Amino acid sequence: MEHTTLTISENAYKSLSKLKGEGESINEVTERLTKRLDLAEFVES
């Protein structure tokens, strides 16, 4: 798996951390949220 480094603000990190489920990584939260956004875009179209 390839990796890319992203820089986000401390506030963004804290927001993502609050959305984490037990045992979930920030990466997994990001993937979960972006999949949800794709579904929302599909429904809107």
3-state secondary structure of 10: helix
Check pLDDT > 80 for residue 42.
no
pTM: 0.67
Reported as a pLDDT band with limits 50, 70 and 90, residue 12 is very high
Reported as a pLDDT band with limits 50, 70 and 90, residue 36 is confident
Which residue has 């609050």 as its token pair? Answer: 18
CA distance 31 to 25: 10
Reported as a pLDDT band with limits 50, 70 and 90, residue 29 is very high
Reported as a pLDDT band with limits 50, 70 and 90, residue 26 is very high
